[in-house]
Amino acid sequence: MGLTSDEENDNYLTDGEASGSTGAPTAKRKKTGGRKKSVAHLSMKLKEEFPFIEPVPTDKNRAQCRLCPLSKDGTRPSFRCERTDIIRHQETAKHKSVAKTITKGSTSVMTSFLSGKKDPLEEQIKYAEVKIGAYVAAHNEAFLKLDHLTEVLKDIFPDSKIAQGITLKRTKGKGIVINVLGKEHQEVLTAKLKKYKFSILTDISTDISSVKNSCVLVMFYDEEGASAQRIFDLLKGTFDRQQVPWTNVIGYAADGASVMMGCNNSVATRLKDLCPGIRVSRCICHSLHLCASEACKQLPRSAEDLARNIYNFLHNSSKRQAQFAEFQTFLHLDVLQMLHPSQTRWLSLAAVVDRILKQWDALRLYFDAKWLEERLETAERIHTMLNDKFTKMYYLFLDWMLPKVTGLNEYFQSSRPVLPFVHEKMTETFREILTCFMRRDYVCMTPTHNIQPMDTSKWLPLGDIIYFGVGVAEVLDLPEVRADTARVKDFKTRARQFMATLCSEMQRRYDFNDPVLQRASSLAPATALSQRAREATPSLRTLALLLPRIVDKTDKKKLQDLDDQWRAIPFAAEKLPTEVRECKDAGVFWHQMLAANLYYFSQCVGPQGNDEEGESDDST
């Protein structure tokens, strides 16, 4: 640890130096049998060299060993704050024996630091100082702030003995971060490097204070990382600590990552072993995001680059933003900033596309002027694309197509339960997109799970019968666009491939033949109250057998009670208030059914996803 010269030398001053002597003659002192020795205090340099020492609470001129056991009078072995005295104690047989035992017990620096005093208040003060030091290190704050922070804390919390006892300035804070937190992490890292293979990255730098630093980084595989076993252990430990019984868990939903949903070694497989019969579902919201991501790869990269270039050109300059606002005001448009397309959230591209289309004319005029005035390469590239009809066609196509996916995503992220409507919504959107580029008779006559979106023999030809949206149709009617047949064909081919890929990914990531989701649609309030619907679903026994953790299939009485309650719902509807009978919110509706003593039926709760907005009970 680097210390300034005054920090290193302030504890080794002579009497003359300490009294501010300037070399002037002084009165002779009476001899007392020898020269008076200077009194030394425990310095940070000694603490760094001998981490086992600490100041004696009752005498700051002496130090004590916090490793050696307490004597009968409750004190530890003490000695002067001199290096020779400390070394003399370190070489004693008693100290060596204790140090050897602690080394074998693998006591960490953090444990040693926090257990140095037996006074509970002192321990709490130490803990507070370590937490403050960790905060400073984690947020890359300056140690200089500690000179003022502790005084502020004492002023804010005058009734707190812990706050009043904190004595943490920049020097001590730096020492805690380096010698306590740093050493603790170093011990953990060292233990892992002794176990795993690793690579080394190193560099040398000089900071603002002209102190040279040598940084060493290591890269290694950590078995305690985000592995399936570790995530499962954390998940299980959370419920076990709260004594929540696993017999009450009936469903699990997560994104499609292999560590979460893999078929061999994942959190899902471990939950299936722990909770046989648990309902496992991929989060539909994450799946739709991946579907849109794959589909967007079929379009030219230039469409996405245009959005990024516009944002980067304007975002980095306040002057350019002000100039662009003048064009927006001139065209009577809302003065809005351009949005940045996310690298990881492809569905955010819908909002970016909508914003660019609404500001298209202002953007075109602005970059026309920029290109003529400044002749910048970036401005010229953006100017060229904004004046290209085919680039605008791609944006118009995305502006029509992406909301179909984002609409589903927003619906499934609703704070209210939507499980009874999942299959219906997915099927409707899937078939709607299919009819835009495939033969309608094939789509309507084939079961949803048997449709092959990538079967080119069922695709519509590249003529006017393929539907790309009204905006695209208007641009295609322009004579100058129709004249460029090669680019028209390329656009239609890419747009059709976009829709085919989107449908193919939806079919791959969502099981349209899922028996639970198919039967869950009968739990929608309107269907549950309908007498006609009882002809299609007279019993819930089949659904109950698919979800054995809700009702045990061997418990015939509960199964019968469930069916009796299900069949009685249409008759009980006559006694319900009008607002309940007309309610479309499944959560509110089935809460009323619970109040009507339909207990077993209202317990049917299952996961619809793990990417919801707001609070949700995920109940049907």
The rounded Cα 193 to chain-centroid distance in angstroms is 27
CB 529 within 8 A of CB 573: yes
From edge to edge, which strands make up the β-sheet containing 78-80? 53-56, 59-65, 78-80
Residue 196 DSSP symbol: S
Residue-level pLDDT at 408? 86
Residue-level pLDDT at 119? 75
**For residue 153, what is the enclosing H or E element?**
helix 146-156
Residue-level pLDDT at 94? 82
Q: Model confidence over 196-230: pLDDT tens digits?
A: 888 998 888 876 667 788 888 888 877 666 778 88
Q: Helix, strand, or coil here: 56?
A: strand
Question: What is the phi/psi pair of residue 146, to 5°?
Answer: -65, -25
d(CA 206, CA 212): 4
Both structure tokens of 52: 């086992």
The rounded Cα 436 to chain-centroid distance in angstroms is 37
Residues 469, 471, 474, 479, CA torsion sign: negative
CB 607 within 8 A of CB 252: yes
Q: Helix, strand, or coil here: 619?
A: strand
The reported pTM is 0.64
Query: What pairs with residue 206 in β-bridges?
Result: 212
- Written in H, E and C, the secondary structure of 323-356 is HHHHHHHHCCCCCCCCCCCCCCCHHHHHHHHHHH
CB 54 within 8 A of CB 12: no
DSSP annotation string for 63-85: EEESSSPP-TTS---EEES-HHH
CB 55 within 8 A of CB 63: yes
d(CA 15, CA 599): 87
Burial environment of residue 206 by CB neighbours within 10 A (0 to 12, 13 to 18, 19 or more): exposed
Both structure tokens of 470: 């009204």
d(CA 32, CA 35): 8
Residue-level pLDDT at 24? 44
d(CA 387, CA 382): 9
Both structure tokens of 408: 């589903």
Q: What is the mean pLDDT of each run of 10 residues along the chain (620 residues)?
A: 41 39 44 49 74 80 81 75 86 80 54 61 90 92 91 93 91 89 87 86 77 83 76 89 90 85 88 90 82 89 89 88 91 88 68 92 92 86 92 94 87 81 91 94 93 93 88 93 93 94 92 88 85 84 85 85 84 76 80 62 51 42
Residue-level pLDDT at 40? 57
**For residue 215, what is the enclosing H or E element?**
strand 212-220
